[in-house]
Structure 1
Amino acid sequence: MAMARLSAATWSLSAVAVGVLLVGCSASVSADKSEAKISKDKLATTVAEKLAATTGQPKPDVTCPEDLAGKVGTTTRCTLTASDGSTLGVTVKVSSVDGDNINFDIKADDAPSPAAN
């Protein structure tokens, strides 16, 4: 009988997903009032730090494709990439805006996507 084995990277992604789903994750970032958005680089860094803090895992490699506008309900999809190339989608949604602080929720997908060949 064959037994499926998870690679260390996939296991890490699974641990991140489970940790985020069980605990939930929120963040707040100060934005430039004139722009009312969080740059994609600052967003990726904040998401990675929050995921690491929530799961107790090392800070993952996260990229976000666009800036996050400071408007309640705005969403973007970031990607967490493991060392083996497998990925996990992460949804970021603005929950509130208080002055120059943009508050958002972070939710990782239930399962990672395998590495592209």
Structure 2
Amino acid sequence: MKLIIAYIRPERLNDVKQALFAKNIFSMTVTNVLGSGRQKGFHETYRGLPVEVNLLKKVRLEIGVNDEFEEAALDAISDGARTGAEGDGVIFVLDIARSLRVRTGETDIDAVAATRSSAENN
């Protein structure tokens, strides 16, 4: 089991979600965050005063997947987020030691199943 953490441009979120949905990956947590990376920010003028903006708006995605969905998730995120410009984002993959679905009591692989059965969809 893996925990995938991705930082992407906010305007690319819809493309990333659609790419993940196409690969049958539906469960995710999305958070608006501020951060700095290789872009190092930019300078702008606000009400006539120069301002240095070095914390940029990003979106943080957290997705727990079974090992069989790891590559599909990485491909979907990178394809959906890529613009070819500096600041497209970064993806981290971490091992999950254990998981538990609170509602059902399912553990580990069953708890992070990427797709739902047809019975659950009805």
TM-score normalised over the length of structure 2: 0.30
TM-score normalised over the length of structure 1: 0.31
Tell which has more relative contact order, 1 or 2 (C-alpha 8 A, sep 6+): 2
